[in-house]
């Protein structure tokens, strides 16, 4: 989980989407406009990032396949918020058998680095998908205490070796596939 990023706009957008879909589902009416993918982009720029990553990185392709067959939906948001953070993964909700996460990537990064950070954060999504007991923010924190290490004693920030390895691998793949 990356440094706590200012992602309120992305979280609110994801929450609004989730509430709308939940309301339709509770009324028994399917939402024909809802995409089937568990990896969703907030806007065309985010969608282009995901598409480019899948095109240029086998590791990103594999991550997207694993997320697609999971009970986790990851909403991708590119954020212009300033700061030293690069990416973050946040738990939003769990409802009707789906768990919703928001992945935020900094627009301040160059395009290749955005892809590497996207993969890093999607590895965190994969880690959540593999842990069925993660159904809220507290559960996600317990998971990362168990599988990662806390980066700062005063902040709720964790890191895993697997995400760091995925980031390095994707950085090399996208450098080879320009």
Is the pLDDT reported for residue 17 higher than 60?
A: no
Q: CA-CA distance, 17 to 36, in Å (whole number)?
A: 14
Is the pLDDT reported for residue 13 higher than 80?
A: no
User: What band does 82 get if pLDDT is binned at 50, 70 and 90?
Assistant: confident
Q: What is the pTM (predicted TM-score) of this model?
A: 0.80
Mean pLDDT in residue range 142-159 = 90
Residue 85 DSSP one-character state = -
pLDDT in tens, 26-53: 444 444 344 448 999 999 999 999 999 9
Positive or negative torsion for Cα 78, 135, 71, 129? positive
């Amino acid at each position: 989980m990356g440094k706590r990023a200012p992602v309120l706009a992305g979280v609110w957008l994801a929450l609004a989407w989730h509430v709308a879909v939940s309301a339709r589902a509770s009324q028994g009416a399917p939402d024909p406009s809802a995409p089937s993918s568990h990896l969703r982009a907030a806007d065309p720029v985010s969608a282009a990032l995901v598409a480019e990553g899948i095109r240029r990185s086998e590791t990103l392709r594999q991550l997207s396949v694993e997320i697609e067959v999971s009970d986790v939906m990851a909403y991708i948001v590119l954020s212009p918020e300033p700061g030293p953070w690069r990416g973050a993964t946040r738990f939003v909700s769990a409802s009707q058998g789906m768990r919703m996460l928001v992945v935020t990537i900094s627009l301040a990064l160059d395009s290749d680095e955005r892809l590497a950070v996207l993969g890093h954060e999607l590895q965190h999504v994969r880690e959540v998908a593999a842990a069925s007991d993660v159904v809220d923010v507290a559960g996600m924190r317990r998971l990362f205490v168990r599988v990662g290490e806390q980066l700062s004693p005063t902040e709720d920030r964790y890191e895993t070796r697997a995400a760091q390895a995925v980031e390095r691998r994707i950085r090399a793949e996208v450098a080879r596939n320009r």
